[in-house]
Copies of this chain bind each other. A is one copy, B any other.
C-alpha cells in the first residue's frame, strides 16, 4: 500500500491533488453536516463554483445527498471516508510530520490532523476526534480520566462518543477553577465529555479565588477530598495548551499577575501553569487538583493543541512533558518543523 501511494505520487500527482480536494470536501461535510454550498466554500477557502462542481460530482457518485437543509454524507460516503482515512493521512504527509515532530520535540508520540485551527474552525473538531480516538486506544474499563479546560478541550468533549472500551470510565476535572468562562471550565467540559461517552463523572465545586485558610479547610471537606483523591489516582490526563498572554487575558488575570507573566516572558500555558520558552514554570494559578509534579506519575498524558499560532507555546510546554502524547494539527506542526 505504501508503494502504491508512492508510485501514484510520482505517476499522477495531479490526480492525487483532486483526490485530496474531494476527500477534504467529504470530510468537512461529515463534520459540519448539514451545510450549504456557500458556507462550506467559505470554510474550505475555495470558490463557490468549484465546490459546486465537486459536490455535484460527489453526489453523482452517491457519496453525498442534498436536501433543503443542505448537504450530508450518505452511508457510502461515510464508509469511504473511513477507508481512505489512513491513505489520505499519508498522502497529505501527516505521517511524515508526525515522525519529524516526534524527533524534534523529543516527545513520546505525536498525532497530526489535517488543516490549521487558526484558519478553519472545523479543524478543532478534527483535533477533538483524533484526541478521542487516542483516548479510546489507551483507556480500559474502570479507568479515571482527569480533564482540563479550554476551548480545545471543549471540542474534544464535543466529539466524544460512547464506546465499549469506555465502559465504567470515570471523568473528573483536572484542576479547580482558573477564572475561565463557564463553557471553558474543566467542570463543564468534564461533565459534557462524560455525557457524550455515557460515562460517570464527579465535579470539583470550589471557587476560583482561594485564601490560604479557605484552601486548607476546603480540601478537608469530604465531598471535595474524595474527588481530589480520585483525581490523584487517575490513569489519564487530557489537557490543552494555550498561548500564555492570550490565556491570561481570557481569564481576566489580575494586573499584578499579568505583569509577572509578561515580565517573565511566559509563552505557554497548560492547566493553570505558565511557562517561558525554555519550559520553566514562571507562574502558576493556585488551585486544587493535578499539579505539574504529579504528571510524570500519570500513565497517559495527552496534550491537545492546534493552530500555527500555538506552535511556540507547544514547543515550550512540551519540554516539560516529554512522555506526553501530543495531538496537534498541520498548521502547528509545519510551523514547528519549519524553524
Contact = CB atoms under 8 A, between A and B. Distances in A.
Interface of A: 1, 3-8, 10-15, 18-19, 22-23, 57, 61, 63, 76, 80, 83-84, 87, 91
Contact of A87 (B7, B19, B83): B7
Contacts of A3: 83, 87
A312 to B, nearest CB: 36
A63 B10 contact: yes
Nearest to A26: B11
Chain copies in the assembly? 2
Contacts of A5: 4
13 contacts: A3-B83, A4-B83, A4-B84, A4-B87, A4-B91, A7-B80, A8-B87, A10-B61, A11-B22, A14-B57, A15-B15, A15-B18, A15-B19
A64 to B, nearest CB: 12
A7 B84 contact: yes
Given A1-B1, A15-B18, A10 B80 contact: yes
A87 B57 CA distance: 24
A317 to B, nearest CB: 37
A3 B57 CA distance: 21
B15 A12 contact: yes
A79 to B, nearest CB: 9
Nearest to A60: B13
A230 B15 CA distance: 55
Contact of A11 (B1, B6, B14, B80): B80
A10 B80 CA distance: 8
Contacts of A83: 3-4, 6-7
A130 B61 CA distance: 34
Contact of A18 (B12, B22, B80, B91): B12
